[in-house]
Amino acid sequence: GFPVDQPLYIHQETSIRKFLDGRNLVVSTGTGSGKTESFLMPNLNSLLEERANGTLGPGVRAMLLYPMNALANDQLKRLRSVLRS
């Protein structure tokens, strides 16, 4: 899951704030520096809000593109872990 006991990195906090403000952004930082949380946390938050408001319906809400299958599989495992917790 996400490391909830650790503070956010500056790029994560900035990204999440911009996302919540409805702004587009690009996050470019080193491997293992938390880019996933920068986009996945706000997307999951939006889905949870829709569910809580009773407005969650069928359809695509986000599209995640990965350059390699190994990375896509790793991210899918992380997402499943977060959703189980």
Share of the chain above pLDDT 70, in %: 95
Q: Is residue 57 part of a domain?
A: yes
CA quadruple 9, 28, 74, 60: dihedral positive or negative? positive
Q: Is residue 4 part of a domain?
A: no
> In this predicted structure, what is the pLDDT of residue 10?
92
> In this predicted structure, what is the pLDDT of residue 53?
96
Q: Is residue 1 part of a domain?
A: no
- For 67-76, write each residue's pLDDT tens digit: 888 888 888 8
Q: Is residue 3 part of a domain?
A: no
Q: Is residue 43 part of a domain?
A: yes
pTM over 0.75: no
Whether 52 has a pLDDT exceeding 90, the answer reads: yes
Q: Is residue 33 part of a domain?
A: yes
Domain that holds residue 74: 10-84
| Number of compact structural domains in the chain | 1
Region of 7 on the Ramachandran plot (φ > 0 left; ψ -120 to 50 alpha; else beta): beta
